[in-house]
């Protein structure tokens, strides 16, 4: 991963309380797993930023190295990697995701 | 293409004392892994331990999707009673 790609990712995850690297966009998710995450965040009704890695191959590879996580989507809350689709669903079902999001948005 | 048995063996080799169940169609897989090694670790760490066993297959996207459910023996007990 080039320093420029890393800097770009650093900027995205630090400037956005809730940042999702996904396939497609909020309105047009291109993959079921990415769609899961979008649906969960929409249900929580919180503001979040997304980046379509299909349109940015450098970030598509770089993000996997950045978080040591091989798949997309990837969710970051308050700059911290939280997980992918499976973990988002588990955290949502346990109510932990709501807490994490509220803390992040309140800070 | 890769078989669920191959995926299961790779995880088993890496997480020696884990109980592993894998189902899949050759590209999309679901795995349940029960191991005491997960104790005290976050979900992300647990899943990263499993992904580490399949690094090449994940990077090359031989495995397109891998849904993971990770448990310690204790949480598995609780989960199976709840079901």
User: Across chain A, where does the E strand assignment appear?
Assistant: 18-22, 49-52, 74-77, 80-83
A1 touches chain B (CB under 8 A): no
pTM above 0.95?
A: no
In the DSSP assignment, the letter for residue B17 is: T
ipTM: 0.78
pLDDT digits (tens, 9 = 90+) for B5-36: 999 999 999 998 999 999 999 999 999 999 99
A82 touches chain B (CB under 8 A): yes
Residue A36's φ and ψ, nearest 5 degrees, are -55, -45
- Residue B75, min C-alpha distance to chain A (Å): 13
Q: What is the dihedral of CA A69, A70, A71, A75, to 10 degrees?
A: 20
Q: Which two tokens stand for residue B47?
A: 């899943």
| CA atoms of A41 and A45, how far apart (whole Å) | 6
**Given the structure tokens 């029960």, which residue do they identify?**
B34
> Which residues of chain A does B66 touch, with a Cβ-Cβ cutoff of 8 Å?
71
- Residue B17, min C-alpha distance to chain A (Å): 23
User: How much of chain B exceeds pLDDT 90, in percent?
Assistant: 84
3-state secondary structure of A93: helix
Asked if omega into A73 is within 30° of 0 (cis), the reply is yes
pLDDT digits (tens, 9 = 90+) for A63-84: 999 999 999 999 999 999 999 9
CB atoms B55 and A70 under 8 Å: yes
By C-alpha distance, the chain B residue nearest A76 is B44
Q: Which two tokens stand for residue B64?
A: 């397109």
A24 touches chain B (CB under 8 A): no
């Amino acid at each position: 991963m080039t320093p420029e790609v890393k800097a770009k990712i650093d900027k995205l995850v630090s400037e956005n309380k809730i940042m999702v690297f996904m396939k497609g966009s909020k309105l047009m998710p291109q993959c079921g797993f990415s769609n899961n995450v979008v649906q969960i965040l929409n249900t929580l009704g919180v503001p979040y930023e997304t980046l379509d890695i299909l349109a940015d191959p450098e970030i598509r590879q770089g993000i996997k190295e950045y978080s040591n996580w091989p798949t997309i989507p990837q969710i970051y809350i308050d700059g911290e990697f939280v997980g992918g689709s499976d973990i988002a669903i588990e955290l949502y079902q346990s109510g932990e995701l709501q807490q994490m999001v509220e803390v992040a948005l309140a800070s | 293409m890769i078989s669920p048995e191959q995926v299961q063996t790779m995880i088993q080799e890496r997480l020696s004392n884990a109980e592993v169940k894998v189902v899949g169609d050759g590209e999309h897989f679901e795995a349940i892994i029960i191991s005491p090694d997960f104790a005290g670790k976050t979900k992300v760490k647990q899943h990263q331990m499993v992904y580490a066993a399949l690094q090449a297959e994940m990077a090359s996207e031989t495995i397109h999707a891998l849904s993971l459910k990770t448990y310690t023996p204790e949480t598995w007990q609780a989960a199976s009673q709840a079901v």
